[in-house]
Amino acid sequence: MGEMDLNLSVEQLRNVGSRNLPRLAKLGIKTVRDLLWHFPARYEDYSKVVTISEIEPGQKVNIQGEVLKMSSRMIFPKRMSITNALVSDETGAVKVVWFNQPFIANSLREGALVSLAGKANLDKHGLYLSSPTYEKINADEYPFIPPAGGLTHTGRLIPVYPETEGVTSKYLRFLIKPILKNLKILDPLPEQIIKKYKLPSLEEAIAKIHYPTNDTEANIAKERLAFDDLLLFQLKALLERRKLNQLKSVRVGFDQNLIQNFISELPFELTRDQKVAAWEILKDIGKSYPMNRLMEGDVGSGKTVVALIAAIQTAKAGYQTVFMAPTEVLANQHMETIRKLISHTDIEVALLTGSIAWSTCSLQSSQGGLKHRPESPLRAGKKSNIKKRIASGQAKIIIGTHALIQKDVEFKNLALVVLDEQHRFGVAQRAALVKNKEIVPHLLSMTATPIPRTLALTIYGDLDISLIKEKPKNRQKIITKVISPLQRKSAYNFIREEVNSGRQVFVICPRIELADPIKEIKGKNKQSKMNILWSEAKAVEVEYKKLSEEVFPDLKVAMLHGKMKPKEKNEIMDKFKNKKYGILVSTSVVEVGVDIQNATIMMVENSERFGLAQLHQFRGRVGRGEHQSYCLLFSLTSDKKINQRLKALVECDDGFLLAEKDMAIRGPGEFFGVKQSGLPDLAMASLANVELIKKARLEARFLLKDDSSLTNYPLLKDKLEKFQRLTHFE
Ligand code: ADP
Ligand code: MG
């Protein structure tokens, strides 16, 4: 075979019929390239050949021997063919059975030498190999030793692929293997990079990832292929960055007096990290091109005030800032925090969500002060008033939910967008918020989900990052305990004592697994989302019933879950805040950002089901006030390994460190934004490989340095363009 056209449709391959075409498409396989890039999920180790006497039922084995008998017949009425063989070596003989592969009888005649790899089963007729992969061996090669780098099917590591109905690994091997034989692929990776890092060629990597002779070979191939993707990611990030830098933004000048005054009036001292972050942000918004910054900081590290400093500066320059929160609860909370912190200024702040709309101005005039909350829900007409104040530019800081702001708010002169817990917000989305499309607002994303650095560099490579690692001085250490089933009762007693002495408790429960998760996934997206909500609600209801009726009938218990309406949720949160309940049973909706200073216990049911980073988030919900706080991790399992993982939380309260641990344990796929990033699986799996990521970053810089449109590397340029189209975020 000469040079194979990778863009050739798999339809043109000899063994793909009209029946298999849609099935392959389901796996994303349409062209020969797709087929070659359909990498094994794992390998089955058939590299060790056993003798027939060593075969044990239930095992996957590789044997070699001579075909003693061979016959094939049809069974009616099932219209199925059965091929039977008997294969022997010097230690014995074993039966072999194949279904619906009558052609085997023609290719493996009696007397042929064969290598077989497959599962040994035992039934009433005795031991047999069930549909093994087979390979003929030449007499002069027997006993057969697989040649290094050869493309045999047995006596080696066998690829096991992601499969789908009707497309087995066996079939995929059957399709892929022949293509690998005389593979010629033009390598888009520049030669100097291949040489510098001694990488295998693309052809070699592709051949070896499918058919490695050992794990080392497989890993070298994987690393090379992951590098390709990581390089593309970095190139894309750098180019996006350049593009952004060519756009125009409002230059918000730095007014040292203003900022110093504001900071000195704060009821607390900023931490060093807060000051550094504020400085980085102020510097960015002083530039004439858009800021694109992610501020990462643990829960309670004080991100809001840092963003607020930028908003104050922006307001004083005469421009508007919008704070966008993912939920109404959080939007309300931002309003609370911000309103308090700027009560000594004359800057007007407006809140706009589905159920509430008000601005600090209306309070000033009607109630003479800023202390009162407006009555909710909103009265008709009020929302439009607030919108007017935003459109006229009177309201300088606007707080709302993503959904509402993006849908129907018109700003006068928006210069800064602050996003809570949403990392991605493209240029087009930003531009959509402003009338003058020539001017793109600055963007500051805030997240309390620490992301390991390598991950951030890869999937957020186009963002600058500010880290707030230090916690405010007045924060206390939260006592964390793993609670075994035996200790449950005394933990409940402890909770009762706390509530009786006036404190409050969160109880988090994980979603109940549905009986048939497959069906759930296969159903329409909307349906499966409903199911997930349903199972969350169910879990909370069950726990709520148990706690309110059996365990704490003497205490006030409330529940909160994702199936409730925003208004309902707000009401419950408000009541909890006002100490109307002692215990709040909830799903992970309280995970992000909720601030209840009087809550001192975070109790998590089935904590083994959550990731470390998420548990750390939960823990951050308590310890916000003056009282000693506790995080109680209930675990149903006595599995040492799992509880070991939970112990990491007991010992460590650094969210960044926990994130690294989480990535090591559960892989990067669990982190927010990773799955949406479009990062291919292999590259994803290499995100813990710091060296590889550094190399990719370095080389991407080199490549673009004097040749920003990659004219010297047309193949790479072509690949990058395809990739950009594929992973466009907007
Ligand atoms: P997060 O980073 O989780 O969003 P917030 O910005 O909501 O944290 O801050 C949590 C609380 O801590 C707020 O009430 C805020 O006013 C307060 N706070 C912020 N910075 C400091 C500080 N340096 N010292 C003491 N309290 C602070
Ligand atoms: Mg926050």
Please check whether residues 30 and 63 belong to one and the same domain.
no
**Rounded-to-integer distance, Cα 690 and Cα 664, Å:** 12
485 pLDDT above the threshold of 50? yes
The residue from 620, 636, 652 where one domain ends is 652
513 pLDDT above the threshold of 80? no
700/143: higher pLDDT = 700
Ligand number with the minimum distance to the CA of 421: 2
Of 83-87, 164-168, 443-447, the range with the lowest mean pLDDT is 164-168
Please check whether residues 533 and 457 belong to one and the same domain.
no
Name, in order, each residue with C-beta under 8 angstroms of 103's C-beta and a sequence gap of 6 or more: none
Strand pairing category for 60-75 and 80-89: antiparallel
Ligand number with the minimum distance to the CA of 327: 2
450 lines ligand 1 (CB under 6 A): no
Structure tokens at 486: 């035996």
Please check whether residues 569 and 591 belong to one and the same domain.
yes
**Rounded-to-integer distance, Cα 586 and Cα 560, Å:** 5
Q: Are 98 and 83 in contact (CB under 8 A)?
A: yes
Name, in order, each residue with C-beta under 8 angstroms of 649's C-beta and a sequence gap of 6 or more: 480, 612, 615, 616, 619, 631, 633, 658
**Rounded-to-integer distance, Cα 658 and Cα 158, Å:** 36
> For 143, phi and psi rounded to 5 degrees?
-65, 145
Please check whether residues 443 and 490 belong to one and the same domain.
no
CA 502 / ligand 2 centre spacing (Å): 25
594 pLDDT above the threshold of 60? yes
154 pLDDT above the threshold of 70? no
Query: Is 710 domain-assigned?
Result: no
Q: Would residue 393 be called left, alpha or beta, if left means φ above 0 and alpha means ψ between -120 and 50 degrees?
A: left
Pocket test for ligand 1, best of 262, 263, 265, 268 (most atoms within 8 A of CB): 268
Name, in order, each residue with C-beta under 8 angstroms of 237's C-beta and a sequence gap of 6 or more: 460, 461, 462, 700
Structure tokens at 644: 């070991």
Looking at the chain, the whole-number percentage of residues with pLDDT higher than 90 is: 38
Ligand 1 atom index nearest CA of 301? 2
Please check whether residues 27 and 74 belong to one and the same domain.
no
636 pLDDT above the threshold of 60? yes
Please check whether residues 268 and 351 belong to one and the same domain.
yes
Highest mean pLDDT among 54-68, 445-459, 493-507: 493-507
| Structure confidence at residue 148 (pLDDT) | 44
655 lines ligand 1 (CB under 6 A): no
Ligand 1 atom index nearest CA of 473? 24
Ligand 1 atom index nearest CA of 270? 23
| Structure confidence at residue 374 (pLDDT) | 47
**What CATH number is associated with residue 103?**
2.40.50.140
Please check whether residues 388 and 438 belong to one and the same domain.
yes
Highest mean pLDDT among 64-73, 197-206, 566-575, 620-629: 197-206
The protein residue whose alpha carbon is closest to atom 9 in ligand 1 is: 302
**Rounded-to-integer distance, Cα 116 and Cα 144, Å:** 11
CA 595 / ligand 1 centre spacing (Å): 10
Of 23-27, 409-413, 538-542, 726-730, the range with the lowest mean pLDDT is 726-730
Query: Is 111 domain-assigned?
Result: yes
Q: How far is CA 300 from CA 274, 306, 324, 588, 658, in A?
A: 12, 12, 18, 17, 16
Strand ranges for 290-426 from DSSP E: 292-297, 320-325, 349-352, 357-359, 397-401, 414-420
399 pLDDT above the threshold of 80? yes
* CA quadruple 425, 427, 432, 436: dihedral sign: positive
Ligand number with the minimum distance to the CA of 300: 1
Ligand 1 atom index nearest CA of 303? 2
Ligand number with the minimum distance to the CA of 296: 1
Please check whether residues 133 and 272 belong to one and the same domain.
no
Query: Is 697 domain-assigned?
Result: no
Ligand 1 atom index nearest CA of 333? 7
Paired with 442 in beta bridges are: 416
The protein residue whose alpha carbon is closest to atom 14 in ligand 1 is: 337
**Rounded-to-integer distance, Cα 323 and Cα 265, Å:** 22
Closest by CA position to 151, among listed 83, 211, 81: 211
Please check whether residues 314 and 330 belong to one and the same domain.
yes
Q: Are 618 and 473 in contact (CB under 8 A)?
A: no
> For 51, phi and psi rounded to 5 degrees?
-85, 160
Closest by CA position to 508, among listed 551, 483, 543, 476: 543
The protein residue whose alpha carbon is closest to atom 15 in ligand 1 is: 302
CA 354 / ligand 2 centre spacing (Å): 20
Ligand number with the minimum distance to the CA of 295: 1
CA 471 / ligand 1 centre spacing (Å): 9
The residue from 652, 675, 696 where one domain ends is 652
Residue 341, domain extent: 256-468
335 lines ligand 1 (CB under 6 A): no
526 pLDDT above the threshold of 60? no
CA 271 / ligand 1 centre spacing (Å): 10
Helices within 185-271 (DSSP H only): 191-196, 202-210, 215-245, 256-265
Please check whether residues 428 and 523 belong to one and the same domain.
no
Ligand number with the minimum distance to the CA of 268: 1
| Structure confidence at residue 42 (pLDDT) | 85
CA 305 / ligand 2 centre spacing (Å): 9
Ligand number with the minimum distance to the CA of 337: 1
Band the pLDDT of 273: cuts 50, 70, 90: very high
**Rounded-to-integer distance, Cα 311 and Cα 324, Å:** 13
Please check whether residues 403 and 503 belong to one and the same domain.
no
300 lines ligand 1 (CB under 6 A): yes
Q: What is the mean pLDDT of the chain?
A: 84
| Structure confidence at residue 365 (pLDDT) | 43
Averaged pLDDT for residues 293-321: 93
Query: Is 68 domain-assigned?
Result: yes
461 lines ligand 1 (CB under 6 A): no
Band the pLDDT of 375: cuts 50, 70, 90: very low
CA 270 / ligand 2 centre spacing (Å): 16
Paired with 83 in beta bridges are: 72, 98
Please check whether residues 521 and 576 belong to one and the same domain.
yes
Looking at the chain, the whole-number percentage of residues with pLDDT higher than 70 is: 88
**Rounded-to-integer distance, Cα 39 and Cα 207, Å:** 10
Q: Are 21 and 171 in contact (CB under 8 A)?
A: no
Q: How far is CA 526 from CA 514, 520, 531, 562, in A?
A: 16, 10, 9, 15
Question: Residue 550 carries which DSSP code?
Answer: I
Q: Are 466 and 418 in contact (CB under 8 A)?
A: no
Peptide bond into 40 cis (omega under 30): no
Pocket test for ligand 1, best of 337, 447, 619 (most atoms within 8 A of CB): 337
**Rounded-to-integer distance, Cα 46 and Cα 80, Å:** 29
| Structure confidence at residue 139 (pLDDT) | 67
* CA quadruple 32, 38, 39, 40: dihedral sign: negative
Helices within 439-549 (DSSP H only): 453-459, 488-500, 517-522, 525-545
308 lines ligand 1 (CB under 6 A): no
Query: Is 122 domain-assigned?
Result: yes
337 lines ligand 1 (CB under 6 A): yes
47 lines ligand 1 (CB under 6 A): no
The residue from 652, 683, 711 where one domain ends is 652
CA 486 / ligand 1 centre spacing (Å): 37
297 lines ligand 1 (CB under 6 A): yes
CA 465 / ligand 2 centre spacing (Å): 17
CA 670 / ligand 1 centre spacing (Å): 27
Ligand number with the minimum distance to the CA of 336: 1
Query: Is 362 domain-assigned?
Result: yes
Return the percent helix, strand and coil in the chain, to nearest 5.
45, 20, 40
The pTM assigned to this predicted structure is: 0.73
Band the pLDDT of 105: cuts 50, 70, 90: confident
474 lines ligand 1 (CB under 6 A): yes
Pocket test for ligand 1, best of 298, 304, 309, 340 (most atoms within 8 A of CB): 304
Residue 54 CB neighbours (<10 A): 12
Residues 295-306 as b or e (16 or more Cβ within 10 Å = b) = bbbbbbbbbbbb
CA 304 / ligand 2 centre spacing (Å): 6
CA 206 / ligand 2 centre spacing (Å): 46
Paired with 443 in beta bridges are: 292, 417
The secondary structure of 133-195 as a DSSP string is EEEEE-GGGPSP-PPTT---SSSSEEEE---BTTB-HHHHHHHHHHHHHT------S-HHHHH
Residue 185 CB neighbours (<10 A): 17
CA 593 / ligand 2 centre spacing (Å): 5
Ligand 1 atom index nearest CA of 340? 16
**Rounded-to-integer distance, Cα 472 and Cα 212, Å:** 53
Q: How many domains does the chain have?
A: 4
Name, in order, each residue with C-beta under 8 angstroms of 71's C-beta and a sequence gap of 6 or more: 83, 84, 85, 105
| Structure confidence at residue 520 (pLDDT) | 42
Query: Is 457 domain-assigned?
Result: yes
CA 112 / ligand 1 centre spacing (Å): 77
Band the pLDDT of 356: cuts 50, 70, 90: confident
pLDDT tens digits along 42-99 = 887 777 788 898 898 888 888 888 999 999 888 877 778 889 999 998 888 999 999 8
CA 300 / ligand 1 centre spacing (Å): 5
**Rounded-to-integer distance, Cα 52 and Cα 477, Å:** 63
Query: Is 691 domain-assigned?
Result: no
263 lines ligand 1 (CB under 6 A): no
The protein residue whose alpha carbon is closest to atom 22 in ligand 1 is: 472
299 lines ligand 1 (CB under 6 A): yes
**Rounded-to-integer distance, Cα 239 and Cα 251, Å:** 23
CA 21 / ligand 1 centre spacing (Å): 57
**What CATH number is associated with residue 533?**
3.40.50.300
Averaged pLDDT for residues 663-691: 74
Residue 583 CB neighbours (<10 A): 27
Strand pairing category for 80-89 and 92-99: antiparallel
Ligand 1 atom index nearest CA of 304? 6
Treating both helix axes as pointing N-terminal to C-terminal, what angle do 202-210 and 169-181 enclose, rounded to 10 degrees? 150
What's the length of the chain?
Answer: 730
**Rounded-to-integer distance, Cα 16 and Cα 171, Å:** 10
Structure tokens at 641: 């390994």
| Structure confidence at residue 587 (pLDDT) | 84
CA 34 / ligand 2 centre spacing (Å): 43
